Amino acid sequence: MQGICLLGATGSIGQSTLDIIKQHPEKFQLVCASAHSSVDKMADICRRFRPARVVMGSEKARDELAAKCHGLPISFEWGSDALDSIAADPQVDQVMAAIMGFAGLKPTLAGIRAKKRILLANKESLVTAGKLFMDEVAQHDVMLLPIDSEHNAIFQSLPQSALGATKKDVKKILLTASGGPFRSWTLDDMRHVSPEQACKHPNWSMGQKISIDSASLMNKGLELIEACWLFGVTPADIDVVVHPESIIHSMVSYLDGSVIAQMGNPDMRIPIAYGMTWPDRIETSVPSLDLVGIGQLNFESPDLERFPNLKLASDAWYCGGTAMAALNAANEVAVAAFLQRKIGFLDIATINGEVLNQLESHPVASLEVVFEADENARRVAKNIIEARVWI
């Protein structure tokens, strides 16, 4: 029986993880769970799964939840220290890191330091803290399983135990991208899209922020950096391939001309279950792939002119140090502003680029440096947004 700490239980990854736990009660037990503010959703989770400890983002949310779940034998907690504490709870074997954004970094590190198996959905933590994050994983001898579907696919397509150091016979990593809802739109048309249009992903059902990132290709940019840290490569070792059907989740191209791909229906329960049971596999209730029904798979190159975020991410990697944390922070602020209809869709990349240009990059010597870079970049991004009329 594996004890699970589910960080971000009320989100899209959280719900898919709960579905796997529900399907395999003999294998998994939800021991701890967290959510930011969704009290009703968390109350349902508490009634159904009876975790021992639950952490909410504020005292108010904790109190509301405790009142709704009166009588249940659950410890209701709140705040950042409690989040770190559940990730390190002695009853926990695996931590699913599924909080959205930079807020996921600290509790994920707490899980690493407590030597839990880390199921990493929260790509922003690896993007921002990169080397520091991987050093902690190595130092604590932790099993880190990528949950992001592309990285899970690459992990499955690489020789086993390739995390951190890619085998010499690998030629390229082929990182696939759906292209998002605006793949074939003109720049002019993309200028006026609404948050609702940008959130409508053609293949995946996901949280708001990652849906916007997918539409702007920032998600692929973050994933490029994520792959570099996970597999010990550089952007030059990775080709981004747009594959609109999202059936191939990524590939590895070898020196002899072989290409190994991982395929499946676009459903996050597949990489989640793989992470939870690796090196074994279990049933997920995801329907088998109907290749004849699909008929055709298509591939194209990404258009960096219409989707400059992808290039910005590669620039940030080569710039190194805190540039990646700055880019991520700028993007979180810009996406929030777009969702609040303060800026247009294309302005997200403009703001990201301006923040990268304005801020000097520093070596990531400590976690404090990462938090400082995040804070600075948020301030600069907010100033840029406030200083202009965007729409």
Alpha-carbon distances of 278 from 118, 255, 286, rounded to whole Å:
12, 27, 17
Spell out, one character per residue from 6 to 45, where the chain touches ligand NAD: x when CB under 6 A holds, - when not: --xxxxxxx--------------------xx-x-------
Instruction: Return d(Cα 326, Cα 128) in angstroms, integer.
Output: 8
Stretch that binds ligand NAD, among 59-67, 95-103, 224-232, 244-252 (CB under 6 A): 95-103
Per CB under 6 A, 206 contacts ligand NAD: yes
Of 118, 126, 158, 268, which lies in the binding site for ligand NAD, with binding defined by CB under 6 A?
268
Helix axis angle, 367-386 relative to 123-139, nearest 10°?
Answer: 170
| Partner in contact with 100, chosen from ligand NAD, Mg ion, none, beta carbon below 5 to 8 Å by kind | ligand NAD
Closer of 35 and 110 to ligand NAD (Cβ): 35
5, 43, 119, 121: residue in contact with ligand NAD (rule CB under 6 A) = 121
One character per residue 41-80, x = contact with ligand NAD (rule: CB under 6 A): ----------------x-----------------------
Rounded Cα distance between 149 and 155, Å, is 10
Q: Which range touches Mg ion (CB under 5 A), out of 142-150, 175-183, 200-208, 269-277? A: 142-150
Q: Rule CB under 6 A: which of 184-203 touch ligand NAD? A: none
Instruction: Print the binding letters for residues 125-164 with ligand NAD: x by CB under 6 A, - otherwise.
Output: -----------------------x----------------
Least spacing, CB of residue 256 vs ligand NAD, in Å: 31
Amino acid at 182: F
Q: Using CB positions, name the residue nearest to ligand NAD.
A: 11
3-state secondary structure the chain: CEEEEEECCCCHHHHHHHHHHHHCCCCEEEEEEEECCCHHHHHHHHHHHCCCEEEECCHHHHHHHHHHCCCCCCEEEECHHHHHHHHCCCCCCEEEECCCCHHHHHHHHHHHHCCCEEEECCHHHHHHHHHHHHHHHHHCCCCEEECCHHHHHHHHHCCCCCCCCCCCCEEEEEEEECCCCCCCCCHHHHCCCCHHHHHCCCCCCCCHHHHHHHHHCHHHHHHHHHHHHHHCCCHHHEEEEECCCCCEEEEEEECCCCEEEEECCCCCHHHHHHHHHCCCCCCCCCCCCCHHHHCCCCCECCCCCCCCHHHHHHHHHHHCCCHHHHHHHHHHHHHHHHHCCCCCCCHHHHHHHHHHHHCCCCCCCCHHHHHHHHHHHHHHHHHHHHCCCCC
- Closest-CB residue for Mg ion? 148
Binding to Mg ion by CB under 5 A, coded x per residue (else -) over 159-198, reads ----------------------------------------
**Piece of the chain touching ligand NAD by CB under 6 A; list 179-187, 205-213, 224-232, 317-325:** 205-213
Which of 84, 148, 332, 347 binds Mg ion (CB under 5 A)? It is 148
Binding residue for ligand NAD, selected from 100, 118, 312, 370, defined by CB under 6 A: 100
Piece in contact with ligand NAD (CB under 6 A), picked from 204-212, 328-336, 352-360, 371-379: 204-212
Smallest separation (angstroms) from ligand NAD to the CB of 142:
19
Toward Mg ion, which CB reaches closer, 92 or 227? 227
**Which residues are near Mg ion by CB under 5 A?**
148-150
**Which residues are near ligand NAD by CB under 6 A?**
8-14, 35-36, 38, 57, 98-100, 103, 121-124, 148, 204, 206-210, 268
